[in-house]
Structure 1
Amino acid sequence: MKFSGSAVIITGAGSGIGAALARSAAGMGAKVCVSDLDFDKATAVATEISGIAVACDVRDESAVQNLIQQAEQAQGPTDIFVSNAGLGQGDPTHAASAPDAVWMLNWQVHVMAHVYAARALLPTMTARRSGHLVNVASAAGLLNQIGDAAYSATKHAAVSFAESLAISHGEDGINVSVVCPQYVATPLIGLSDADAATRASLLTAHDVAQAIVEGVESDRFLILSHPVVKDYCLHRAQDHDRWITGMQMLRAKAQDAFGEVSAESLYKLV
């Protein structure tokens, strides 16, 4: 689906990948609704691109419904919905050490937010036989994010749900994409575009936004801003035990070099 002339909603668009995609989409002639938990950030981006801003806590189904209602009142039926909001906190100590509240927060933001959007939009998109649902997951949804079990588990679920949508609704004229970037210089991991210039493995939010635009306009299901992720998946499939051993070694290397295991440290080693 083309962005030009489309009505687009993007969650988590007050900063990072969401904000970069909002700018790209608006630059291509889309009508863009910028949504974020932080209304001030959403408003700043919306003002910049002449879009509209709606505050939304994606953990709340009624809030997601209200977001879609407000957006459609302003810009018409939704053509492209980008479910982008996300978070990452890391494991306090061992892989099961995060409290239930953290696991549930990850589940709500990384999985149920996608479900709520699809639940609200599928009836009208199916009736029109047109629409594109874009779920932003992570390379951790295909591989693993060392040091953040809740993030990895829920991002895997996000990828699986997107696949279910694609299988179930392709005949209804609905396109589905799942975005699985690896390391991106965003506020989520405390990195900037200047950091991205120092490592080939680290992309800017704009880089990922461009990959999303290209993937959506090509009606591609799996959007990989980091092509190497495909190679990693193939290596893991060939010998999963060897892959686990390699990841154990990478974890130990990060611990030795930086005294911690986090996305901020791991990107420097790949």
Structure 2
Amino acid sequence: MELKGNGALITGGGSGLGAATARHFAEMGARVAVLDLDQEAAQRVAGEIGGIAVGVDVSDAAAVETAIAEAEAALGQAPRVAVNCAGIGLAARIVGRDGTPSFDLFERTLRINLFGSYYVMTHAARRMMTLEPDAGGERGVIINTASIAWQDGQLGQSAYAASKGAIASMSLPAAREFARAGIRVVAIAPGLFNTPMMEGLPEEVSAKIAADVPFPPRLGAPEEYALMASQIVANRYLNGTTLRLDGAVRLPPK
């Protein structure tokens, strides 16, 4: 599918991987809707790229439906591409050292990472189904963000790994369901990327983390995630799978 001239919505588009994707898609000629819980951040990115900004809490199904309808109205067309980058990466043991369970963190992580992606995928797909297919029979592309923690989850990442593993597992059944409508579903599983979460770490800690990446021996750049997203959109035969983007790193137990 071509990005040029088509509508694209990106959650978590106010920073990190989402912001890089919004900028890259705009450079490729897409009409971009930047969705983020932080509406000021969304407006800042949208202002840079000539896009539109919509504030939304992706963990709220009704709010997601409203936000996507607002984005569609502002873009003047239903989005043909949806990229889910909104998420959190909180860490906690299942049972803390003091014996306290982490139920609240588990529920919050799944509501934002997993339920949020599911809500956006659902409402985006509903709108894509109303579009005329392109010359290749395609109506849309949905890209969800998993993580290498899906397979390499570290100590304290049970909630995060569960949420990202579920996102990876959704790719195939969702792609099979939407195949008749000409909608593809692919997940990207990023490794260690230079996002706001990483930027908050001390320099020596970041350097040690980056040194564990075989090649290239550095943190991933958000622009590399954005490039992968655009390549998924362009390659019609990519469907129903999860792609690791990680410089060949494998996470240790802790």
Structure 1 Cα separation of the partners of residues 157 and 246 of structure 2 = 20
- Aligned Cα RMSD in Å? 2.4
Corresponding position of 1:212: 229
In the alignment, the residues of structure 1 paired with residue 43 and residue 193 of structure 2 have an alpha-carbon distance, to the nearest angstrom, of: 23
Residue-by-residue CA offset, 1:246-267 (whole Å, 9 max, x unaligned): x7xx33xxxxxxxxx4xxxxxx
Take 2:101 and 2:66, find their aligned partners in 1: how far apart are those partners?
Answer: 31
Contact 2:38 2:55 in 1 (8 A): yes
Give the partner amino acid of 2:163: T
Q: Which residue of 1 is the match for residue 71 of structure 2?
A: 71
User: Does structure 2 conserve the Cα–Cα contact (< 8 Å) formed by 1:215 and 1:223?
Assistant: no
Deviates more, 1:127-136 or 1:150-159: 127-136
- CA displacement at 1:92 relative to structure 2: 4.9
Partner of 2:4: 4
What is the match of residue 175 of structure 1?
184
Q: Shift of residue 147 of structure 1?
A: 2.7
* Conservation of the 8 A alpha-carbon contact between 1:185 and 1:191: no
Paired residues for 1:25-104 under 5 Å: 25-75=25-75, 76-92=77-93, 94=95, 99-104=102-107
Aligned length: 233
**Deviation readout 1:87-126 (Å, 9 max, x if unpaired):** 1111157589652221111111111112212322333323
Q: Return the alpha-carbon distance in structure 2 between the equivalents of residues 212 and 79 of structure 1.
A: 13
- Is the 8 Å Cα contact of residues 212 and 223 (structure 1) preserved in structure 2? no
Letter in 2 for 1:225: L
Asked if the contact 2:93–2:158 (Cα under 8 Å) also holds between the matched residues in 1, the reply is no
Within 1, Cα distance between the matches of 2:85 and 2:6?
18
Looking at structure 2, the residues matched to 116 and 204 of structure 1 have their Cα atoms a distance apart, in angstroms, of: 27
Which moved further from structure 2: 49-58 or 85-94?
85-94
Runs of 4+ residues over 6 Å off in structure 1: none
Q: TM-score, normalising length from structure 1?
A: 0.78
Is 1:136 matched with 2:145?
yes
Rate the CA distance shift 1:228–1:52 in 2: closer, same or farther, 3 A. Answer: same
Indicate conservation of the 8 Å contact 2:93/2:155, yes or no.
no
TM-score (norm. length: structure 2): 0.83
Task: Give the match's secondary structure for 2:129.
Answer: helix
- SS of structure 1 residue aligned to 2:190: coil
Distance 1:227 1:189, change over 3 A: closer
Secondary structure in 2 matching 1:45? helix
Which range moves more in the overlay, 146-155 or 175-184? 146-155
How far is 1:212 from its partner? 1.6
Tell me which protein shows more helix as a share of its residues.
Answer: 1
Task: Please give the secondary structure, in 2, of the residue aligned with 1:106.
Answer: helix
The residue that corresponds to 2:214 in the other structure is none
User: Is the alpha carbon distance of 1:121 and 1:189 closer, same or farther for their aligned partners in structure 2, counting shifts above 3 Å?
Assistant: same
| Identical columns (%) | 31
Change (3 A) 1:190 1:80: same
- Residues 191, 41 of structure 1: CA spacing in aligned structure 2 closer, same or farther, 3 A cutoff? same
> Is the Cα contact below 8 Å between 1:177 and 1:216 reproduced in 2?
no
Return the structure number with greater relative CO, CA threshold 8 A, min gap 6. Answer: 2
1:162 Cα deviation (Å)?
2.3
The Cα of 1:48 is off from its aligned counterpart by 0.6
Q: Aligned-pair distance for 1:18?
A: 0.2
Q: Distance in 2 between matches of 1:24 and 1:124?
A: 23
Structure 1 pair 119–147 and aligned structure 2 pair: CA distance change class (3 A) = same
Distance 1:204 1:3 in 2: 21
- Residue 113 (structure 1) aligned to one of 113, 116, 134: 116
2:168 is matched with: 159
Q: CA deviation at 1:39?
A: 0.8
- Structure 1 stretches lacking a partner, 5+ long: 233-246, 252-260, 262-270
1:22 and 2:22 equivalent?
yes
